[in-house]
Amino acid sequence: MMWTDLVLPYARRQDGLVTAAQCAAVGISPDQIKHLCRTGTWHRVVRGVYRVWIAEAVRTDALRMLIRAAVLSCGPDAVAVGPSAAHLFGLPTARRDPAAAEIAVPGPAGKPRRIQDRLVIVHQRILRPWELTAVDGIACTTPARTVADILLTQDRFTAICATDAALQAALLDAGDLGIVERMFFRRRGAIAARQWLEQVDGRAESPLETRGRLRCLDAGLTPDELQASIVDGTGRVLARADMLWRRPRLIAEADGASVHDRPEALFRDRTRQNDLMAAGYAVVRFTWQDTQSRSAVPRMVQAAMGRNLL
């Protein structure tokens, strides 16, 4: 057995990562670590944490690995917070470029670390035991605390998309939203966060659906129903509509390229749309780019409403 194999049990539990302290515990010296990094056998991720080239490392997404490395680097009290905790739960957040891990530590330990590693953003924050959990061994804030932090610190669309996704994934339920709101107490951004919390809807099945709904909401075109089942005169289900306006018989659909660009999907979508049109429904489709404009989605919806009410 090679001496580097002594750290493999740690690495397999930690997405291919080992710490300097774990190396020392099995007799691997700092000079040996430097040699392994110089030769490309290991790779330094953040201060005191190294990537070992094993299958567990290859299968892990880069941001998750960075988050785990940052938590390991910052000590036993460190936890992933904000966008980093959201990433661990699979919630959509705004991407940083370059990517960075956001970590919280209690007391004054956070301040000097902010300077020492550009990939790690360390916050000084006191978190209560019931606000803490772990995802695959990575310490982080609970879904409720994570969503509260996102609502308080991110832009409106990012925050509501993340909250909708947490509800859709059953990480939170409607009763948990009261807990989330109580976490706003005396925190900066609380007024806006409370307003945004009233706009969440866990029926949205993607961030694109949430964004389209918010554009319509802002234009005074709130849909009557989300994820509505559309049936014909015989009771046959024609479709499940992302957004439905009943009186004008209008459907708006989120058009995600990764799903709808496949040939079989294009065929199904065309057949489905023909069936809906035959039943008297108008259908509009919107893309991510459409939702980046305040007016694009509402303009499509209003135009289709006008045509279908003639």
Q: Output the DSSP codes for 211-263.
A: HHHHHHHHTT---SEEEEEEE-TTS-EEEEEEEEETTTTEEEEE--HHHHTSH
The answer to whether the CB of 18 falls within 8 A of the CB of 49 is yes
Phi–psi pair at 128, nearest 5 degrees: -85, 155
pLDDT for position 263: 43
Q: Give the pLDDT band (50/70/90) at residue 278.
A: confident
pLDDT for position 56: 67
pLDDT at residue 310 greater than cutoff 70: no
Residue 248 Cα to chain centre, angstroms: 34
pLDDT for position 108: 61
Q: Give the pLDDT band (50/70/90) at residue 129.
A: very high
pLDDT for position 94: 79
What average pLDDT does this structure show over 127-154? 97
| pLDDT top residue among 108 and 237 | 237
Q: Compute the distance between CA of residue 129 and CA of residue 30 in angstroms, rounded to an integer.
A: 35
pLDDT for position 66: 95
pLDDT for position 109: 55
> Which three-class secondary structure state does DSSP give residue 91?
coil
pLDDT at residue 267 greater than cutoff 60: no
What average pLDDT does this structure show over 96-122? 75
pLDDT for position 6: 87
Domains, the chain, ordered by start? 3-58 (1.10.10), 66-197 (no CATH), 207-308 (3.40.960.10)
Query: Hey, what long-range contacts does 60-65 have (CB within 8 A, 24 or more apart)?
Result: 60/15, 60/16, 62/99, 63/87, 63/99, 63/101, 64/15, 64/88, 64/138, 65/15, 65/16, 65/17
Residue 266: Cβ within 10 Å count:
11
> Which three-class secondary structure state does DSSP give residue 33?
helix
Q: Which two tokens stand for residue 217?
A: 């909401």
- The terminus-to-terminus CA distance of the chain in angstroms comes to 80
pLDDT at residue 308 greater than cutoff 70: no
pLDDT per position as a tens digit, 42-83: 999 999 999 998 766 677 789 999 999 999 999 999 999 999
> What percent of the chain shows pLDDT beyond 70?
89
What average pLDDT does this structure show over 156-178? 97
Q: Which two tokens stand for residue 10?
A: 């740690």
